[in-house]
Amino acid sequence: MDNKNKQLWQTVKFTLFSISAGVIQIGSFALLEIFIKDYWIPYLISLVLSILWNFTLNRRYTFKSAANVPVAMAKVFGFYLVFTPLSTYLGNLAESLGVNDFIILIVTILANFVLEFIFCKFVVYRGQEDTLKK
């Protein structure tokens, strides 16, 4: 497979896995929001669930990386050390301005999707793609 097709297929897989992670995030957020009315608690719990799902699938199937899992996860954790407080703060601010929680969540998921792909591609798995032996 030439590099252009490989990149396209990689983007498609990342997108599909991210959609599945989004479903997990939205589903768990909706369930938690029934019991917990503050935006940030359901958001953080559902975000962690989706991160674990997305990391596991993308490491194995999208980037096919044998990278040291703790090191790769630490890099992803670093990404979320910046993304999570910022998105939580902005989400909470938007909620206080009357924006619907699910609109906030969808915008946040889309921003996360784009930024995480770029971060994984060029930071987490840089030089370590296609190293996983089957």
Does residue 134 fall inside a structural domain? Answer: no
Q: Are 66 and 131 in contact (CB under 8 A)?
A: yes
> Tokens standing for 96?
């206080």
For residue 134, pLDDT over 70 is answered with no
pLDDT given at position 96: 94
Does residue 131 fall inside a structural domain? Answer: no
- The model's pTM: 0.82
3-class DSSP assignment, residue 68: coil
Please provide the distance, in angstroms rounded to a whole number, between the alpha carbons at the two ends of the chain: 18
Residue type, 21: A
CA atoms within 13 A on the CB side of 129: 15
Q: Which structural domain range is residue 92 located in?
A: 3-124
Q: State percent of the chain over pLDDT 70.
A: 99
Does residue 26 fall inside a structural domain? Answer: yes
Does residue 71 fall inside a structural domain? Answer: yes
Q: What's the total number of domains in the chain?
A: 1
